[in-house]
């Protein structure tokens, strides 16, 4: 939900005509665009990947984009439409290097719609020490040599 409000207050005061002094006062005030803060949730943390989502996604306009940051570095951008499908944010790097096992990361998301911006609270995530994989029964495995 985007809440936009602009308040304009103006007045002009003049002294009586027989006075030599004329006073003019103009006051203008405006409220900045306000936007709901995204609520970031952790879905899963693997040794090399963090999965997250935006809990209050329906509070945003379809024109909103979501910028993902890890430890203060920009990682990537998601459109509202992309997140609407399954609300899946996939993070595999910190904006510079791939994620490491057993490491703490600070994830934030910034919602942007025109000039309005709003940043989520920090989501502290520690990646897993190991990632386990499952192989179905009767799957043929190959061993290559040379």
Round to whole Å and give the CA distance between 59 and 49: 27
pLDDT for residue 129 is more than 80: yes
pLDDT tens for residues 113-126? Answer: 999 999 999 999 99
Which pLDDT belongs to residue 4? 45
Question: Using 50, 70 and 90 to split pLDDT, how confident is the model at 57?
Answer: very high
Length of the chain: 146
Question: Using 50, 70 and 90 to split pLDDT, how confident is the model at 36?
Answer: very high
Q: What is the mean pLDDT of residues 47-56?
A: 96
pLDDT tens for residues 61-105? Answer: 999 999 999 999 999 999 999 999 999 999 999 999 999 999 999
Q: What is the number of other CB atoms lying within 10 angstroms of the CB of residue 120?
A: 22
Residue 44 neighbours by CB under 8 Å, 6+ apart: 50, 51
């Amino acid at each position: 939900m985007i809440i936009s409000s602009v308040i304009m207050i103006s007045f002009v005061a003049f002294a009586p005509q027989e006075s030599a002094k004329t006073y003019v006062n103009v006051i203008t005030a405006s409220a900045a665009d306000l936007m709901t803060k995204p609520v970031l949730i952790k879905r899963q943390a693997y040794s090399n990947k963090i999965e997250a989502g935006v809990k209050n996604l329906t509070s945003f306009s379809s024109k909103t984009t979501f910028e993902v940051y890890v430890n203060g570095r920009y990682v990537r951008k998601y459109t509202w439409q992309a997140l609407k499908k399954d609300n899946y944010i996939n993070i595999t790097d910190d904006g510079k290097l791939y994620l490491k096992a057993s490491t703490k990361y600070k994830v934030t998301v910034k919602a942007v719609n025109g000039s309005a911006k709003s940043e989520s609270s920090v989501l502290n995530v520690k990646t897993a020490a190991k990632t386990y994989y499952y192989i179905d029964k009767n799957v043929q495995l190959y061993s290559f040599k040379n």
